[in-house]
Chain A
Amino acid sequence: MSSVREWSDDAGALRRFGLALVRDDRFVFDDVAASALIEKLFRQASLTLVDCPGADRRAARVRAFAQFVRLYRRHARRLAVDEDGGWLETPPSARGCGSAAVGVRALPLELREALLLVVLAGFTHREAAEALDLPLAVVIDRLARARARLAAHMAASREAAVAWPQSAHLRIVK
């Protein structure tokens, strides 16, 4: 019973992570495909860990997220869709949302994936390093850069929001 619930929590976390990470709608084009992909990743992760003594749910989780990251990296590289500012379309989940979401999506993939793994998926720095297949120091450096960029973006958004009423000019339309 509890494992079903844990699995469902993990699947929900991966779905949120995917929505935040992916800029290109062609990667996973609808909800059914997303569910199928998430289920497949967790099943694969669980199966590969069956023979590993001491491997737990946490390890399966790291592996499933790592596989997702690898798949999206490959997709982004192949189609060159995740260059800075080069995404095709605003994903539905980013439309009409606040400056944090827009700021996260504006980050380059390498910073975005580290930040989202830690903040959104709740990974420790070590687990994030494992999932991203990077040294711990690199992950920490990317986290610091991502946070600084996002803070600058959010501050700029706040300033723009404050400045807007003064700069906006209304026009009478007859």
Chain B
Amino acid sequence: MTGRADPAETLAYVDDCLGPEARSAFEVRLKVDPELRREVAQWESQNRAIRAAFGAPPRNALDLGGASNENIVRRSGEAMRSGDGAARPLAQARKRRAAARPIAKPRPSGPGPSARRLVGAVALAAAIVWVGLPSLGLRPPAALFAAGAAAAHALADQPVEFAAGDPAALALRLGPRLALAPPPAPGLQLLGARLAPGSQATATLYVYENLQGARVALMVEPLDEVAAAPVRRDEIDGLSVAAWTGAGYGFVAAAAGDADIAALVAAAGADDERLAEAGLQRR
């Protein structure tokens, strides 16, 4: 099927109203049609903007690293609720909770009910499966892929904003949360960094150059409480893109060729096994 997608079908895809088969068929078309991808990205971003504007948690928690967002919404909801309905700042609510703690009824110290133990066992088993089978369960957020590719596409060929020669000055300009020391990658020369729009927040785009003079970009975005996910490779708008998450950050490497990506991913700490899992090979 090569024809343009029906607008109603595009809306149904964006609003998660397609059945599994129709969804798969649409995703096949999405891969080969950049115009359709742009349209879907536009509506998805609009959905996110609306949900964020009215304090709703993100619909797809994994895609947006959303467990943390949901927690933030819940926490801020707790802080904002009050007896008289008036809004109170978060810090004030925390102080009140802290003050209330000493007079709160102590919890019983004996063993909990068996149901609680059963839930604990199930949670432990789920955690073991989650950690043990990362290739089945965990993927870097799709929004991270898209944001990294878009930033690399638009900004990697632009002059860098911060020179790479002085990491201390770089850290000072970017602030402690944004500045991770950029990894030295074999065959790649670090040119510097730019600020770029990430999937959720401002990100740092480190720009490298390979021996042929082509630019390679590494986007690093701070993400609250995002689960660590192994490297995944994709191809977006002619760019080879690899993304992974860990240590509270999302990473996206983007370049024209796989070899540069592999060098960057390996420099960032991935071993050969992880590279092979993502379909990448060291140079």
Q: Are B85 and A31 neighbours in the complex by a CB distance under 8 Å?
A: yes
With both chains docked as a complex, state the minimum distance between the C-beta of B61 and any C-beta of chain A, in angstroms.
Answer: 12
- Contact in complex: A16, B54 (CB < 8 Å): yes
User: B54 contacts A98, CB within 8 Å?
Assistant: no
Which chain B residues in 25-59 approach chain A with CB under 8 Å?
Answer: 42-43, 46-47, 49-56, 59
- Cβ contact within 8 Å between A118 and B15: yes
Interface status of A59 (Cβ within 8 A of chain B): no
The closest CB in chain B to the CB of A115 belongs to B50
Interface contact A19-B54, CB-CB below 8 Å: yes
A98-B49 contact given A30-B85, A31-B85, A151-B42, CB 8 Å threshold? yes
Bound-state CA distance A151–B43 (Å) is 9
A19 cross-chain contacts in B, Cβ below 8 A? 54
One of A40-48, A62-70, A78-86, A121-129 contacting the partner = A121-129
Chain B contact patch, size range: 20 to 34
Q: Measured between alpha carbons, how far is A144 from B15 in the docked complex, in Å? A: 12
Check A100 against B15 for contact (C-beta < 8 Å).
no
Partner of B85, one of A32, A122, A143: A32
Which residues of the partner chain A approach B7 to less than 8 Å between Cβ atoms? 144
Question: Are A100 and B42 in contact, CB atoms less than 8 angstroms apart?
Answer: no
In the complex, the answer to whether A150 meets B85 with C-beta atoms within 8 Å is no
Size of interface on A: residues with Cβ below 8 Å to B? 30
B142 at the binding interface (Cβ < 8 Å): no
Given A125-B12, A144-B11, are A119 and B50 neighbors across the interface (CB < 8 Å)? yes
Name the residue among B43, B54, B77 with the largest chain A CB count within 10 angstroms.
Answer: B54
Asked whether any CB of chain A lies closer than 8 Å to the CB of B163, the reply is no
A100–B47 Cα distance when bound, in Å, is 9
For the complex, is A120 an interface residue (Cβ under 8 Å from B)?
yes
A104 interfacial contact with B, CB 8 Å:
yes
Interface of chain A, main secondary structure: helix
User: Which residue on B lies nearest to A12, using beta carbons?
Assistant: B77
CB pair B54–A93 under 8 Å, yes or no, is: yes
CB distance from A148 to the nearest CB of B (A): 10
Query: What residues of A have a CB within 8 angstroms of the CB of B77 in the complex?
Result: 12
Contacts of B55 in A (CB 8 A): 16
A98 to B48, CA, bound (A): 13
Q: Tell me which of A19, A115, A140, A150 has the highest count of chain B C-beta atoms within 10 A of its own C-beta.
A: A140
A98→B53 contact, CB < 8 A? yes
Q: Looking at A19, A119, A151, which has the most chain B CB atoms within 10 Å of its CB?
A: A119
Shortest C-beta distance, B55 to chain A (Å), equals 6
Whether A119 and B17, one on each chain, are in contact in the complex, defined by CB atoms closer than 8 angstroms, is no
Q: State the Cβ distance, B51 to closest chain A Cβ, in Å.
A: 6
Query: Nearest Cβ in chain B — how far from A136, in angstroms?
Result: 9
A116 and B12 CA atoms in complex are apart in Å by 15
* A16-B55, A93-B54, A120-B50 as given contacts; A147 in contact with B43, CB under 8 Å: yes
User: Hey, which bits of chain A sit against chain B, CB under 8 A?
Assistant: 12-13, 16, 19-20, 30-32, 93, 97-98, 100-101, 104, 115-116, 118-120, 122, 124-126, 140, 143-144, 147, 150-151, 154
Instruction: List, sorted by A's number, 14 A–B pairs whose CB atoms are closer than 8 Å.
Output: A98-B49, A100-B53, A101-B54, A119-B15, A119-B50, A120-B56, A124-B15, A124-B17, A125-B11, A125-B17, A140-B11, A140-B12, A144-B8, A147-B46
